[in-house]
Amino acid sequence: MSRFLKKSLSSLEQYVPGEQPQDKKYIKLNTNESPYPPSPAAAAAIGTEQLESLRLYCDPRCGSLKQAIADELGVKCENVFVSNGSDEALSFFFMGFCSEDRGVAFPDISYGFYKVFAELYGIKYEQIPLREDFSLNAGDYEAIGKNVVIANPNAPTGLALGLGEIEKIAASNPSFAVLIDEAYVDFGAESAVSLTKKYPNLIVTRTFSKSRSLAGARLGFAIANEDIISDFEKIKYSTNPYNINSLTQKIGTAAIKDRDYFEKTRSEIIKTRTFTQERLRELGFTVLDSKANFVFAKSDEISGESYYHALKQRGILVRHFCGERISDFNRITIGSPADMERLCEITKQILGKE
Ligand SMILES: *Cc1c(COP(=O)(O)O)cnc(C)c1O
């Protein structure tokens, strides 16, 4: 740290992304990327012409992309904000809607970035404990009198709330903003997008990183009432008007229109998840009931940390978190069927169950 960094940032604990090793080839099951390539339509959308157009600034309104997202979700363009990964929309939410006076609540076990954003922007935050079984008690958030951020399905647990519970949270906090982070919703949870028409305080964020195989393109979006969306636009035009590069706009537009490919790949992943859960349970693991493209699992026969290291040594990367209640677990991304076969075989070896 230099002596020039401002004081309020000197003690900030930065977000630590999952490893992206460049040295050797792993079976990568640590950052919830898709095992499948992006839609072929996305690749076909980029040619010499698009590369040459990089000399120009991109469309700051992201018109075609917004229209395609709006069409797919059954909302209007005025209800769509597109962001550089959904992380950017989350950042803007914390920056623009939360403050020292207007605090925010989120679960104690959830996406690690929420706490980082709250600290970065000097926001008062409350972390509400999940139940013993890691489920979220929606009642804890009813009429809570502050902003709310909930990942649904939650990460790293994979557990999902029902739409009725989300509706109660939004309805009981009409003077506060409720953000539902739906990074994983396509893998089996109910989306709250339709509720944004009824509740002007409800914001839903989504990403192309997981279910649309475009993590490296950095594309996410938020759906909400048009007033909230114009607030998001104001923050974007005050920080980075060209937040979505022109190639990503093209790729994203083509990807979201390719509904068949999306349906095919996500249903493959859901099938592989079921198979992985069954196999790990046969090997004695406790596996939470995931609605996401990962499973959260622990074994009584090996510590979470030892299992993580044993897998890594054998060429498989998963995500281990050191948090108090979750250090026995690992979060394992659902890869291809072959990846998951290999994971189960190696796990058998590690546990001496061959
Ligand atoms: C992956 C993830 C995101 C953000 O991903 P982007 O790549 O920035 O779109 C947001 N929330 C949760 C819970 C995630 O797991």
Q: What is the pLDDT of residues 146-186, one digit of tens each?
A: 999 999 999 999 999 999 999 999 999 999 999 999 999 99
Average pLDDT over residues 74-84: 98
Residue 92: pLDDT over 80: yes
Q: Is 180 in the pocket of ligand 1 (CB under 6 A)?
A: no
pLDDT of residue 18: 87
Residue 351: pLDDT over 80: yes
- pLDDT digit string (tens) for 2-61? 999 999 899 999 998 888 888 778 999 999 999 999 999 999 999 999 999 999 999 999
- pLDDT digit string (tens) for 202-252? 999 999 999 999 999 999 999 999 999 999 999 999 999 999 999 999 999
CA of 343 to the centre of ligand 1 (A): 24
- Higher-pLDDT residue of 323 and 335 is 335
- Nearest-CA neighbor of 138 among 114, 176, 168, 110? 168
Distance CA 216, CA 305 (A): 28
Closest residue by Cα to atom 2, ligand 1, is: 183
CA of 109 to the centre of ligand 1 (A): 15
Taking the CA of residue 219 as reference, the ligand 1 atom at the shortest distance is: 9
Q: Is 277 in the pocket of ligand 1 (CB under 6 A)?
A: no
What is the model's pTM? 0.97
Taking the CA of residue 110 as reference, the ligand 1 atom at the shortest distance is: 13
Mutate to test the pocket of ligand 1, among 16, 82, 91, 111 (most ligand atoms within 8 A of CB): 111
Residue 171 CB contacts under 8 Å (≥ 6 apart), including other chains: 199
The token pair that represents 315 in the structure block: 């060429």
Residue 133: pLDDT over 90: yes
CA of 93 to the centre of ligand 1 (A): 14
Q: Calculate ∠ Cα 283-284-288, nearest 5°.
A: 105
Average pLDDT over residues 274-289: 98
Pairs from 266-273 (Cβ < 8 Å, separation ≥ 24): 266/186, 266/187, 266/211, 268/36, 269/34, 269/35, 269/187, 269/211, 269/293, 269/334, 270/187, 270/188, 272/334, 272/335, 272/336, 272/337, 272/340, 273/187, 273/334
CA of 307 to the centre of ligand 1 (A): 25
Q: Is 304 in the pocket of ligand 1 (CB under 6 A)?
A: no
Mutate to test the pocket of ligand 1, among 87, 92, 208 (most ligand atoms within 8 A of CB): 87
Q: Is 33 in the pocket of ligand 1 (CB under 6 A)?
A: no
CA of 7 to the centre of ligand 1 (A): 29
Distance CA 190, CA 35 (A): 23
| Residue 285 one-letter amino acid | F
CA of 231 to the centre of ligand 1 (A): 21
pLDDT of residue 109: 97
Q: Is 339 in the pocket of ligand 1 (CB under 6 A)?
A: no
Q: Is 83 in the pocket of ligand 1 (CB under 6 A)?
A: no
